[in-house]
Amino acid sequence: MTVDLPRCRRAGWEEIDRWVAEIGRRVRAAGRAPETIVGLSRGGWVPARLLCDQLGVRRLLSLRAQHWGVTATRDGSAKLSEGLSGAVRGESVLVVDDITDTGESLALATEHLRAAGPARVESATLLHIGHSKFVPTYFAEEIPATAWVWVVFPWNYWEDLASLAARAAAETPGLDATLRTLRERCGLDVPRSDLEALAARGLLGPPGR
């Protein structure tokens, strides 16, 4: 799927704290606190670290899955591009990502982890899109497939903004027109100073184009 200027939803830290607390509650209620958390790189790293804090887990590992290229543009099918950073044999493991969309990344990661001989593998995401082929064991909020959006998480803000603003600027050159296009087409309201910062780094194409 390639979406040129996708509808977006910006996620803030308060929501993220709420989602992490909700997952923590569900994991505790299930009585299945993990010994090891695996953060899927890159989107799952911050949620995984926050869940370590929430659940009192000290062992945090990484596994890198690659799927989406630039914002809202798929880059072929998901692949695991870096191995798991530690052993999980005999451990109860929780693998964490920020969102399940196609679900391919988490499906692959879970399969890979199972092959490493853990006692148990469960999964968690902050958000889950209804059409995902993989349903995480725990998620805080479901987005119906018909309401698909690109979620701009704080850990991806500048990357997403640079990519979307460059596309918007190619259609409607000039900072004010770019701001308007981001607002009208993507539903993203960002400060003008953020676009100025990108323009100063040459990330919005030639000035006045």
Residue 98 touches ligand AMP, criterion: CB under 6 A? yes
Residue 91 touches ligand AMP, criterion: CB under 6 A? no
CA 61 to chain centre: 17
Q: From the list 99, 140, 169, 198, which residue makes contact with ligand AMP (rule: CB under 6 A)?
A: 99
Q: Is 93 helix (H, G, I), strand (E, B) or coil?
A: strand
CB atoms within 10 A of CB 49: 16
In DSSP notation, 45-89 reads HHHHHHHHHHHT--EEEEEEEEEE-STTBEEEEEEEEE--SS--T
Q: From the list 94, 101, 169, 185, which residue makes contact with ligand AMP (rule: CB under 6 A)?
A: 101
Q: From the list 19, 45, 68, 138, which residue makes contact with ligand AMP (rule: CB under 6 A)?
A: 68
Q: Rounded to a whole number, what is the distance in angstroms from the first to the last CA of the chain? A: 28
Interface size with ligand AMP, residues (CB under 6 A) = 16
Q: From the list 10, 64, 67, 185, which residue makes contact with ligand AMP (rule: CB under 6 A)?
A: 67
Residue 105 touches ligand AMP, criterion: CB under 6 A? yes
Considering the complex, what minimum distance in angstroms separates the CB of residue 141 from ligand AMP?
Answer: 13
Q: At a CB cut-off of 8 Å and minimum separation 6, what does 111 contact? A: none
Nearest to 163 by CA among 70, 75, 91, 86: 70
Q: From the list 100, 110, 123, 178, which residue makes contact with ligand AMP (rule: CB under 6 A)?
A: 100
Q: From the list 34, 39, 43, 47, which residue makes contact with ligand AMP (rule: CB under 6 A)?
A: 43
Q: From the list 36, 54, 62, 102, which residue makes contact with ligand AMP (rule: CB under 6 A)?
A: 102
Q: Which residue is nearest to ligand AMP (CB)?
A: 43
Considering the complex, what minimum distance in angstroms separates the CB of residue 184 from ligand AMP?
Answer: 20
| Residues 185-198 as b or e (16 or more Cβ within 10 Å = b) | bbebebeeeebeeb
Residue 137 touches ligand AMP, criterion: CB under 6 A? no
CA-to-CA distance for 201 and 177, rounded, in angstroms?
19
Residue ranges in contact with ligand AMP by CB under 6 A: 43, 67-68, 78, 97-105, 132, 150-151
